[in-house]
Amino acid sequence: MMTLTDENIKEKYILVGISPDTQENRSLDELEALLDTAGAKAVCKVTQRLDYPDPATYVGSGKAYEIKSLIYLHDATGVICDDELTPAQIRNLTDILEVKVIDRTILILDIFASHATTNEGKIQVEMAQQKYRLSHLHGLGKELSRQGGGIGTRGPGETRLESDRRRIQKRISILSGSIAQMKKVRETNRKKRQNEGIPVVAVIGYTNAGKSTLLNRLTGAGVLAEDMLFATLDPTTRVCRLSSGQNILLTDTVGFINKLPHNLIDAFKSTLEEVEFADILLHVVDVSDPDVEAHMKTVYETLDELKVVNKPVITALNKIDKLDPEIKDSSRFIKDIKAGHTLVASAFTGEGIKEVLDEIEKVLREDQIHVQMSFSYSQGGDVEALRRSSNIIIEDYRECDIFIEAYIPRAYVGKYDKNIITVDENLL
């Protein structure tokens, strides 16, 4: 058990978790970072050695009364449990501890609610919150019935429960309609990009791995980039020009985290679909974090849950500027075995960024074909489209036509079949 103090914090919480190994519970360290992001403070961490949560009180009843004494000792505002609690667990713990009891899911949803800035982000977060509330109404009839008082008061409680359920379901229906409409707009924009043929690179990774900093470094996007969990939620897409002159679209995505609430994944699916339709996944990893391998595992588990498979992955081992010089120089970096390409970089200093861009260009080249083409001067729009989507080697304005030698996406072979003079299958 570890004790922390800070007399100036208004809300002070005791963090509670279960683990097969009580000697090391890094999940509580992450929970503390989440709490700090939410503007509160952890005054004490308690871990009980359990393989599974107690169905009644999360921790054992004896441990619960031990936590109650710590609440008085540290004058704590409440207790936060490191897993999602059932309604019964919340009710029973509240009865024993007599303070506010919340779980990891509520804390994450609160952070998302405070960090969402766009209308889309706010709607998605509210959807997740409403689904959480709906799932936790079950079993609370007894608590609500206490407001009625007297014999036979179960009825009013159940009536209140059903009233709340109908209200939440109605709100979820409205939010679902809004999300569906935003999804249509997103699909329209996606089809437009696909028609233009500009490759899309989705920047993914664990929260606070440096995705926004990398996006700013590559594109000058000006996205908020702070050393905190979930500093940015709303996706940002910016154009990035490769050394060959080809444009790509870099799309930032919401950071993943261990025990990410399922309702949150469901609510953000329309946004995370950008990952599904991306040409390349740029996986940003904080190589300085002691839990780096566990973080990578969480990212891939989330991708599996989103059914994102068979995508080229480039992993950028970020924040190498934070490593000890001896470790950095020894090249003892981890290897992302699920990525086709692993590089080291620092989005903060710019080290290795050119190599990351070169690797993106190399991967794109694998799906391109080397051609020579001829366009009439009336097809200037097609030539302009090729500049945005392809790697043009030669662009020669001759007397009767425009001669182009370029690497173009394979999908363009049929589109420009009448313009292609030669195709070189050996230069892929």
138-170 tens-digit pLDDT: 644 444 444 344 433 444 455 677 888 899 999
Q: What pLDDT is attached to residue 154?
A: 44
3-state secondary structure of 157: helix
Q: Who's near 176: CB < 8 A, 6+ residues apart?
A: 127
Residues 6 or more apart from 406 whose CB is under 8 A from it?
370, 371, 373, 386, 390, 391, 392, 393, 394
Q: What is the pLDDT of residue 222?
A: 58
Please compute the mean of the pLDDT values over residues 128-140 and round it to a whole number: 79
275 phi-psi bin (left φ>0, alpha ψ -120 to 50, beta other)? alpha
Report the distance separating Cα 382 and Cα 295, nearest Å. Answer: 44
Q: Which residue has the higher pLDDT, 142 or 76?
A: 76
Mean of pLDDT over the chain: 82
pTM of the model: 0.79
Q: What is the 3-state secondary structure (H, E, C) of 276-304?
A: HCCCEEEEEEECCCCCHHHHHHHHHHHHH
Q: How confident is the model over 227-231, as a mean pLDDT? A: 57
Instruction: Give the pLDDT score at 44.
Output: 93
Determine the Cα–Cα distance for residues 54 and 16; give it in Å rounded to an integer.
13
pLDDT exceeds 70 at position 23: no
Residues 255 and 257: their CA atoms lie apart, in Å, by: 7
| Residue 250 confidence (pLDDT) above 50 | yes
pLDDT confidence band for 233 (50 / 70 / 90): low
For residue range 293-332, list pLDDT tens digits in order.
889 999 999 888 888 888 899 999 999 988 876 665 544 5
What average pLDDT does the segment 65-83 reach? 94
